[in-house]
């Protein structure tokens, strides 16, 4: 395995993207850039962006492309992302964001766009029991018998129920995914950078499929 990669992981919320991104970032030794985590950090810091983002996120809506593109442009210009690459999680979410990203990455293009494919019914079920580490983003499944306060096994952070994981917000986010984000599959399919990975399997098996897809895409043809 050659360290360093420029990757995008697409997929419905609840498909297991967060957990797989944490693992992929360690495997390829690249920063995990999650736009959701960036917005949640802004909410915690109480910045102007955070106040606006909290309202949008709690409703399950999308923050505007201008703001998101600005955040990602800045993050991708940091030395770690320039020298090692990155895994993008939660971005792009619209065709407008994907077009802007093409422009941002024109000099150092994305290696492969991975689409983690999990059907809507299954993610709906997973999202209602999802709990997330506030600090490192590791996902957990609540089964009702966990010990509280719940401490993350990876980093010792607090494991929380996200404010935006209400049934209404979940339904709205999944609708938005079909409308705004699923067209990205065709967008990336057209320029030959897409690998669709079946996400219905154990986390270890899905991870193996994802790393295989990255290696296959990087192999010289």
Told to judge if 120 belongs to the known catalytic residues of this protein, a careful annotator would answer: no
Residues 6+ apart with CB under 8 A from 80: 31, 86
Among 8, 13, 170, 214, binds ligand AMP (CB under 6 A): 13
88 sits in the region (left: phi over 0; alpha: psi -120 to 50; else beta) called beta
56 lies in the binding site for ligand AMP (CB under 6 A): yes
User: Which parts of 46-160 fold into alpha helices (H)?
Assistant: 48-58, 65-76, 79-84, 95-104, 120-128
Binding mask 167-186 for ligand AMP (x = CB under 6 A): ------x-------------
Catalytic choice (23, 54, 126, 130)? 130
Q: Catalytic: which of 12, 93, 126, 131?
A: 93
Q: Which stretch binds ligand AMP (CB under 6 A): 59-67, 99-107, 111-119, 148-156?
A: 59-67
Q: Check residue 63 for interaction with ligand AMP (CB under 6 A).
A: yes
Q: Which residues of 66-86 are buried (b: 16+ CB within 10 A; e: fewer)?
A: eebbebbeebbeeeebeebbb
Residue nearest ligand AMP by beta-carbon distance: 36
* Residues ≥6 apart with Cβ < 8 Å to 69: 97, 100, 101, 104
76 binds ligand AMP, rule: CB under 6 A: no
Nearest to 13 by CA among 199, 189, 212, 194: 199
130 near ligand AMP, rule: CB under 6 A: no
Catalytic, 219? Answer: no
Q: Given 17, 40, 54, 131, which residue is catalytic?
A: 17
| Residue numbers annotated as active site | 17, 93, 130, 162, 173
Site residues for ligand AMP per CB under 6 A: 13, 35-36, 39, 56-57, 60-63, 68, 90-91, 93, 97, 164, 173
């Amino acid at each position: 395995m050659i360290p360093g990669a420029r990757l995008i992981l697409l997929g419905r919320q609840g498909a297991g993207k967060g957990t797989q991104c944490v693992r992929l970032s360690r495997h390829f030794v690249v920063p995990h850039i999650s736009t959701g985590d960036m917005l949640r950090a802004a909410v915690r810091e109480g910045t102007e962006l955070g106040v606006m983002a909290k309202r949008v996120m709690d409703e399950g809506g999308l923050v505007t492309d201008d703001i998101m593109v600005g955040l990602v442009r800045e993050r991708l210009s940091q030395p770690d992302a320039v020298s090692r690459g990155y895994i993008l999680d939660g971005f792009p979410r619209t065709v407008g964001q994907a077009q802007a990203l093409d422009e941002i990455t024109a000099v150092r293009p994305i290696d492969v766009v991975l689409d983690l494919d999990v059907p809507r019914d299954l993610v709906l079920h997973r999202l209602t029991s999802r709990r997330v580490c506030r600090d490192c983003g590791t996902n957990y499944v609540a089964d009702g018998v966990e010990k509280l306060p719940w401490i993350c096994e990876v980093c010792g952070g607090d494991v929380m129920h996200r404010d935006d994981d209400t049934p209404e917000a979940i339904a709205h986010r999944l609708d938005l995914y079909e409308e705004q984000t699923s067209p990205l599959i065709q967008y990336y399919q057209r320029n030959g950078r897409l690998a669709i990975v079946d996400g219905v399997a154990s986390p270890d098996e899905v991870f193996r499929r994802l790393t295989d897809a990255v290696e296959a895409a990087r192999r010289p043809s």
